[in-house]
A and B are shown apart, each in its own frame.
Chain A
Amino acid sequence: MSSDASRTRIAVVGVVVTALFGALFARLWYLQVLSAPTYRNAASQNGVKEVQLSPRRGRILDAAGRELAANRTFPVILVDRDSIQRSGKRAKLFAALGPVLSVEPKSLEERFKNDNYNKQQPLPVAEDVDPGVVVYLSEHQAEFPSVTISEGATRVYPYGSLASHVLGYVGRISKEEIDKQTGSDYNLLDFIGKDGIELTYERYLRGTPGKIEYEIDTQGRTVRELSHLDPIPGSDIKLTINADIQYLAELSLEQALLKRRTDAYLTKPNAIGERFNWKAPAGTVVIQDPRDGSVLAMASYPTYDQRSFGTISTKEYEAKYGRPEAYGPLVDRAVTGLYSPGSTFKLVTATAGLRTKLASLSEPYTDTGSYTIENCTNSCSKSNAEGSKFGDITLSDAVAVSSDAFFYRIGDKLGGDTADTSFGGRETLQQVAREFGFGSPTGIALPGEKGGRVPTKKEKEDLHSAEPAAYPDGVWVTGDNVNLAVGQGLLVCTPLQLTNAYSALANGGQLYQPRIVSEIRRPDGNVNELLPRKNGTPIAFGNTLVESAANREGILDGMRRVTGERTATSKETHPGTAAKVFVGFREATGFDIAGKTGTAEVGIDATANQDTSLFVGFGPVADPKFVVSVVMEQSGFGTAAAAPTVRTIFEHLYGLVPMPVPILVDMKAPMPVGPQLKIDFPADSVDLSKG
C-alpha cells in the first residue's frame, strides 16, 4: 500500500467529513432558525402547569338589595394526589382520615377513582365539614402531611325556589357550551349559568378567572411560580324584582290554581257518568310597574327548586321534570308560554276602532247578540259568549260587558276582503297590535323569550305551507280578522307581552321594554344603572292629542266598569264582567282598579283543553303603579279564576292584607361542590388537563 494511495483515501475521508458537518449545520439551521417559533411555543407549554383560580360569582339581588342568589363558602379538605398514588399509602391515609371525617374509607377510595374530580388537582375528600374537623386537622398536621384545608364555594338561592324561573341556575358547563364559547377561557370543570339571569348575565356574573402558572420539571414537581393572576370577582346584578311581591305572586298563583282544581268543570255527570274538575295545571302572574316598565314580579307555575339539581341524576331529572304530566316546571311561561289573549286583546281592537272611528264613545252600536260578516259565504254569523244581547252600546259599554259582536264588526271592517280603505285599510288591527308590542319579543333580559304571533294573510299562508298538518287551512278570510278582533284564532302572545301592552295603556300610551335588571354593580364599586327603555313613540288612541286622551279615558272608563266601579256611563243593565269579583274592593282598600277579563278557547276538545282564564288589572287608575296579569291554564272564564287572583294580589299591594314574607331556606341543604349533574362526556371529549 503506497502512502500516496493512503493520502488519496484520506482526502476522500476529508470530503466525507465535510459533508457530514454540512449536514449537521443544515439541520441545526433548520431547527434553530427556521423552526424556532414552533419549538419555542412547544417549550413554553412544556414545563408549565396552570392552576385555575375561580372568581367569586356575582350575586343576584332583589330591588331592595336582598340576596336572591349568593355564594356560600365552606372548608374543603384536600389530599395531595401524588402522595396517595400507591394503594398501600392511600389505604393507610383513608383509614386514618375516615373516622376524622365520619365517612367510610371506602367512599374516599371511590372519590379517588371518580373521574369527575380533576386528576391534575388535589382530591377533595370532604366538603363543608364541621369547624371541629378543621381545627382537629390543623392541630394534627404532622399526622396528615398530605392533607390541606381549602375553601370551596357553592351557589345558593337563599329563598329557595323563589323566582327560580327568573334567576335560573348554574351547572357544569357542557361540551356544546364550551364549543359555542369559542376563544373563551372556560374549561369542562367550570360552572356556567344555564337559565334565567344566571344565563343572560353570565358574562357579568362570572368574573374573570385568575391563574397561577407553575414551572414544573419532568416529574411534575413545581420548580417555581411563573405568574400569578388573581381572579376578578363577578358583578352583582340588581333586579327590579321585589322578593316580597314575587313571593306574593307565586303564592297567590299556586293557591288559586290549587283552589281552581277543586271546582267542578262538569256540574252534572256526562253521558258516560264522568265528572271533571278544572285541571288548572299551570299559570303565570306578571306584575309590572307601568311607569318605567320594571317587572316587579314574574311567577310561572309549576316551578322548580334549583337546590334539587345538586344531587339529582340525569334520569331522576327526566322523571321529575321531563314527563308531560309535570307540565314543564323548567319552562318560564311568563316569557316563553304562548296563549290566546282572548278578550284582553280588545284593548287593541278598541284602540284601532276608535282611531278609525269604527267605534265611538257616544254613538251606540246595536248588539243583537251576534254579528254577520259582510260579503261572506261560509260560517258568517258569530255570536256573543253565552248568547248575551246587549242592545245599544258605546265602546265603554262594550269593554265593560265584553261584547264580542261590537268588536267583531271592527275586525270585519278592518280586515275583510272588502276592507274599507277609509278605515286605514287592511291590517290596521295588526298594525295597532304591533304598536302594543304583540308579535315580537319585548326584549326582556331573559333567555328564550317568544315573540308570539299577530296573524296576517301572509302569516297564515306561510304557516300552512310550512306545516300543512298543523295548519290545514291556508286561505285568509275575513273571519280570521274577526277572530283576531276578540283575541282568538292564530293570535298568540306571552303573558309578559300582554302585561306590557296594558302598562302602555296605564301610563298614557308609552310602550316600554320590560326591565328586569336595574343595576350592574361592579366589583370595583362602580355601578352601571340600566335605565328604562322606551319602545317607540306613545300610542295614539285617536287622531289628535285631545281626541286621543278622551278615547283613552273612554277605554279606561269601560275597564273601571269591568271591576264594578260606578262611572258616569255605568248602566245597571250592563254590569262589568268582573263586577261581582271586586265587590267591596274599593271600599276596603281605598283604591280603585281597572281591568279586563279574558277567556281563551284552546282547540275544540273542551275536555282535553279547557279555556284559559285571563285577567289584567291595573291601579290606582288615575296614576297606575301596578299592572297585574294573571293567566291560568284550563281554568275557565277570566272572571271565575284569574280575576279573583288579581283581586287577592291587589289587596296585598294596596296594603289591605299584609304582604307574605318570603322564607329563607336552610342554606346548608345539600349542594355538593363535587360532581354536580352527572354529565356523560363522550369518549372523545377534550382533555381536562391543561399542560
Chain B
Amino acid sequence: MTMTSSRLPMSTSLRQPRHGRPTRHVDMMMLMLTLAIVVFGNLAVYSAGQGNVRRNKYAPRFYLLRQGTFTVVGLVLMAGVMLIDYRKLRDWAWIGYIGVCGMLILVVSKIGQTSKGAQSWFGFGSFQIQPSEFAKIVMIVVLAAFLSVPRTTLDFRRLLVALAIAGFPVALVMLQPDLGTSMVFGVITVLILVVGGLQVRHFLLLTFVVILGIGAIVRWGGLQDFQIKRFTAFTEQSSALSKNGIELSSAANNLKQSKIAIGSGGVFGQGYRNGSQTKGGFVPEQNTDFIFSAVAEEFGFVGAGGLLVLFGLLIWRIWRTSQLASDLFGTLLCTGVLGLFMFQIFENVGMGMGIMPITGIPLPFVSYGGSAMIAYLMAIGLVLNVHSRRYR
C-alpha cells in the first residue's frame, strides 16, 4: 500500500494486489466523526425541541426518541450500504433513478403532503418521508456512474445528457417548490461535472446560462412570494438589530432571532438546555433548519466551533477518500457526497448567521428529520464503502 500504487490510472486498478477483506480498511476516523456528530445532533434536537414540545404539549423526549429511532435505522442502512461493493451500484443506479423520479412525481401529486409551503412529504401514520433527501443520494450515484464510463471524454453531447439527468429531478423538486433542495442538487451536479472532467469552455457557458436563468426567474416570476422574502431577508438583516420594535418581515425576524441566539451564546454558551432563546422558542424551526442557533446559544463559540471542526474533519476524510478511491466512479461518488455535505453545512450555518439566504435545508446529522438522517448516513456509508475498497 503506497501512494504510488493508488496514483495509478484507474483502468489498471485490477492489477492491484489484494489487501484482504474490505472491512479491514474501514475509515475508522470517518466513522467515529460521524457517530460523534450524530450523538451531538441528537442531544441538540432534544434541547432545541423544547419550544415545540411545550407549544404542542408533546412528551419532553418526543423529538429525541424519534430522532434516536431514525439514527438507528440510518446506521443499519449505512452498514448495509457499506457491505455491498459500490461498483455494483453503477448498474443499479438507473433503477434507483427511475424509482426516485417516480417518487418525486408522486409527491407533487395528490398523494403528497404540504408543510411550510412546500409539497415535499409522503405521510405514513405519524411519520413522513421526504423523497427529495434520498433523491440527492441517488442523483450522486447516477451522475457518478454516467461520468465514470472509461475512455470517454465529457463532450458537449454528454454534458447535455448529464444535465438532463440532473435537471429532471431538480425540475420536480422546484415544483414542490423547494428552492433550497434544488440548489443542493445544482451544487452536487456542478461539482461532480467539474471533477468528472467538465471542459473549461463548457464551464463558462454553463455559468452564463445559470446567470441568465436566475435573471429570467427573478424578472418573470416563477418564485413564490415567501421564497423571495427569504432572500430579501438576507439583505434586510444588516439593520435587523437596530430596527428593534419595527416589524420586520417574518423571515427577517427569524434571522434576527437566530443571530440573537447565536450572539448571546458568547464564548462558552449558556449551558445545555438552558438557552433562553432556545427555551422560549423564539427562533422558528429551531430543531430543524435553525438548529445551529440552538447549538451556538447553549454551547457557545467553543461548542459551535467544535461542531464545525468535526464537520471540517469529516469533510476532510471524504475529500481524502475521493483522492484515494480506486476508480473514477468512487472519486465522483465521494465528490458528490462532499458537495452535498459542504453545501448543506455552509448554507445552513451561514443562513443562521446571516451570511447566506434563508432556505429550508437541514444541517446534516444535527437537524431533526428522519429522511435526512437516514439519507446522509447512507451517503457516509457510500464513502466508507469507497474507502474500504480502495485497493481493489
**In whole angstroms, what is the CA distance A40 to B275 when docked?**
11
Which of the candidate stretches A5-13, A395-403, A405-413 sits at the interface with the other chain? A5-13
CB pair A47–B308 under 8 Å, yes or no, is no
Q: Which residues of the other chain, B, contact A218 by a CB distance below 8 angstroms?
A: 51, 280-282, 284
A68 to chain B, nearest CB (A): 43
B residues 249-307 near A (Cβ < 8 Å) are 257, 259-267, 276-277, 279-282, 284, 296, 300-301, 304-305
Which of the candidate stretches A21-29, A257-265, A616-624 sits at the interface with the other chain? A21-29
CB pair A31–B196 under 8 Å, yes or no, is no
B244 lies within 8 A of chain A by Cβ = yes
Shortest Cβ distance from B325 into A: residue = A3
In-complex Cβ contact of A3 among B331, B335, B349 (8 A): B331
In-complex Cβ contact of A36 among B154, B265, B279, B323 (8 A): B265
Known: A1-B328, A6-B196, A28-B353. A13 touches B296 (CB 8 A): no
CB pair B342–A20 under 8 Å, yes or no, is yes
CB pair B263–A35 under 8 Å, yes or no, is yes
Interface membership of chain A positions 77-110, coded 1 if the CB is closer than 8 angstroms to chain B and 0 otherwise = 0000000000000000000000000000000000
In-complex Cβ contact of B335 among A13, A43, A47 (8 A): A13
Q: Which residues of the other chain, A, contact B280 by a CB distance below 8 angstroms?
A: 46-47, 215-218, 223
Q: Which residues of the other chain, A, contact B282 by a CB distance below 8 angstroms?
A: 46-47, 217-218
Shortest Cβ distance from B283 into A: residue = A218
A32 lies within 8 A of chain B by Cβ = yes
Q: Which residues of the other chain, B, contact A685 by a CB distance below 8 angstroms?
A: none
Compute the total of residue contacts between A and B using a CB distance below 8 Å.
Answer: 146
B210 lies within 8 A of chain A by Cβ = no
Interface membership of chain A positions 41-63, coded 1 if the CB is closer than 8 angstroms to chain B and 0 otherwise = 01111110000000000000000
CB pair B263–A687 under 8 Å, yes or no, is no
A residues 379-409 near B (Cβ < 8 Å) are none
CB pair A17–B319 under 8 Å, yes or no, is yes
Known: A6-B331, A42-B241. A217 touches B51 (CB 8 A): yes
CB pair B260–A46 under 8 Å, yes or no, is yes
CB pair A3–B342 under 8 Å, yes or no, is no
CB pair B264–A42 under 8 Å, yes or no, is yes
CB pair B241–A17 under 8 Å, yes or no, is no
B197 lies within 8 A of chain A by Cβ = yes
In-complex Cβ contact of A39 among B9, B10, B263 (8 A): B263
CB pair B315–A17 under 8 Å, yes or no, is yes
CB pair A25–B194 under 8 Å, yes or no, is no
CB pair A10–B323 under 8 Å, yes or no, is yes
A469 lies within 8 A of chain B by Cβ = no
A7 to chain B, nearest CB (A): 6
**In whole angstroms, what is the CA distance A47 to B194 when docked?**
48
Size class of the B contact interface (CB-based, 8 Å): 35 or more
A38 lies within 8 A of chain B by Cβ = yes
A2 lies within 8 A of chain B by Cβ = yes
CB pair B263–A40 under 8 Å, yes or no, is yes
**In whole angstroms, what is the CA distance A46 to B51 when docked?**
15
Interface membership of chain A positions 198-242, coded 1 if the CB is closer than 8 angstroms to chain B and 0 otherwise = 000000000000000001111100010000000000000000000
B348 to chain A, nearest CB (A): 10
Q: Which residues of the other chain, A, contact B345 by a CB distance below 8 angstroms?
A: 24
B355 lies within 8 A of chain A by Cβ = yes
**In whole angstroms, what is the CA distance A207 to B241 when docked?**
35
Q: Which residues of the other chain, B, contact A17 by a CB distance below 8 angstroms?
A: 315, 319, 338, 342
A683 lies within 8 A of chain B by Cβ = no
B5 lies within 8 A of chain A by Cβ = no
Known: A3-B328, A13-B195, A32-B265. A24 touches B241 (CB 8 A): no
A216 to chain B, nearest CB (A): 7
In-complex Cβ contact of B300 among A24, A32, A217 (8 A): A32
Interface membership of chain B positions 103-116, coded 1 if the CB is closer than 8 angstroms to chain A and 0 otherwise = 00000000000000
B residues 151-175 near A (Cβ < 8 Å) are 153-154
**In whole angstroms, what is the CA distance A206 to B93 when docked?**
80
Q: Which residues of the other chain, B, contact A3 by a CB distance below 8 angstroms?
A: 9-10, 328, 331
CB pair B323–A39 under 8 Å, yes or no, is no
Q: Which residues of the other chain, B, contact A13 by a CB distance below 8 angstroms?
A: 191, 194-195, 319, 335, 338
- The DSSP consensus for interface residues of chain B is helix
Q: Which residues of the other chain, B, contact A217 by a CB distance below 8 angstroms?
A: 51, 54-55, 280-282
Q: Which residues of the other chain, A, contact B264 by a CB distance below 8 angstroms?
A: 36, 39-40, 42-44
Size class of the A contact interface (CB-based, 8 Å): 35 or more
Q: Which residues of the other chain, A, contact B55 by a CB distance below 8 angstroms?
A: 217, 219
Q: Which residues of the other chain, B, contact A27 by a CB distance below 8 angstroms?
A: 350, 353-355
**In whole angstroms, what is the CA distance A22 to B319 when docked?**
17
Q: Which residues of the other chain, B, contact A46 by a CB distance below 8 angstroms?
A: 257, 260, 276-277, 280, 282
A102 to chain B, nearest CB (A): 40
**In whole angstroms, what is the CA distance A457 to B257 when docked?**
71
Q: Which residues of the other chain, B, contact A24 by a CB distance below 8 angstroms?
A: 308, 345-346, 349-350, 353
Q: Which residues of the other chain, A, contact B304 by a CB distance below 8 angstroms?
A: 28, 32
Shortest Cβ distance from B280 into A: residue = A47
Shortest Cβ distance from B347 into A: residue = A20
Interface membership of chain B positions 353-383, coded 1 if the CB is closer than 8 angstroms to chain A and 0 otherwise = 1110000000000000000000000000000
**In whole angstroms, what is the CA distance A1 to B329 when docked?**
12
A142 lies within 8 A of chain B by Cβ = no
**In whole angstroms, what is the CA distance A17 to B343 when docked?**
9
Q: Which residues of the other chain, A, contact B10 by a CB distance below 8 angstroms?
A: 3
CB pair B277–A47 under 8 Å, yes or no, is yes
Shortest Cβ distance from A18 into B: residue = B312
A135 lies within 8 A of chain B by Cβ = no
**In whole angstroms, what is the CA distance A605 to B191 when docked?**
102
CB pair B263–A20 under 8 Å, yes or no, is no
A33 lies within 8 A of chain B by Cβ = yes
CB pair A9–B260 under 8 Å, yes or no, is no
A660 lies within 8 A of chain B by Cβ = no
B245 lies within 8 A of chain A by Cβ = yes
B18 to chain A, nearest CB (A): 21
B322 lies within 8 A of chain A by Cβ = yes
**In whole angstroms, what is the CA distance A687 to B284 when docked?**
26
Shortest Cβ distance from A224 into B: residue = B279
**In whole angstroms, what is the CA distance A40 to B260 when docked?**
7
Q: Which residues of the other chain, A, contact B266 by a CB distance below 8 angstroms?
A: 32-33, 36, 40
A14 lies within 8 A of chain B by Cβ = yes
**In whole angstroms, what is the CA distance A217 to B244 when docked?**
17
CB pair A1–B353 under 8 Å, yes or no, is no
CB pair A25–B319 under 8 Å, yes or no, is no
**In whole angstroms, what is the CA distance A223 to B282 when docked?**
12
Q: Which residues of the other chain, B, contact A10 by a CB distance below 8 angstroms?
A: 195, 319, 322-323, 331, 335
**In whole angstroms, what is the CA distance A1 to B328 when docked?**
10
**In whole angstroms, what is the CA distance A362 to B263 when docked?**
92
Shortest Cβ distance from A689 into B: residue = B245
Q: Which residues of the other chain, B, contact A20 by a CB distance below 8 angstroms?
A: 342, 346
Known: A10-B319, A31-B263. A2 touches B346 (CB 8 A): no
CB pair B338–A39 under 8 Å, yes or no, is no
**In whole angstroms, what is the CA distance A24 to B346 when docked?**
7
CB pair B267–A36 under 8 Å, yes or no, is yes
Chain A positions near chain B (C-beta within 8 angstroms): 1-7, 9-10, 13-14, 17, 20-21, 23-25, 27-29, 31-33, 35-36, 38-40, 42-47, 215-219, 223, 687
In the complex, the 4 A-B pairs of residues with the closest C-beta atoms, listed nearest first: A39-B263, A1-B197, A43-B264, A47-B280
Chain B positions near chain A (C-beta within 8 angstroms): 7, 9-10, 51, 54-55, 153-154, 191, 194-197, 241, 244-245, 257, 259-267, 276-277, 279-282, 284, 296, 300-301, 304-305, 308, 311-312, 315, 319, 322-323, 328, 331, 335, 338, 342, 345-346, 349-350, 353-355
Q: Given contact pairs A33-B301, A217-B281, enumerate 17 new A-B contacts (beta carbons under 8 Å).
A: A7-B331, A21-B315, A24-B346, A27-B354, A28-B305, A31-B296, A32-B300, A32-B304, A36-B263, A39-B262, A40-B263, A40-B264, A43-B264, A47-B277, A217-B280, A218-B282, A223-B280
20 A-B pairs in the complex with CB atoms less than 8 angstroms apart: A4-B7, A13-B194, A13-B335, A14-B319, A21-B311, A23-B346, A24-B350, A25-B305, A33-B266, A36-B263, A39-B241, A39-B264, A43-B260, A43-B276, A43-B277, A44-B276, A47-B280, A215-B280, A218-B280, A687-B245
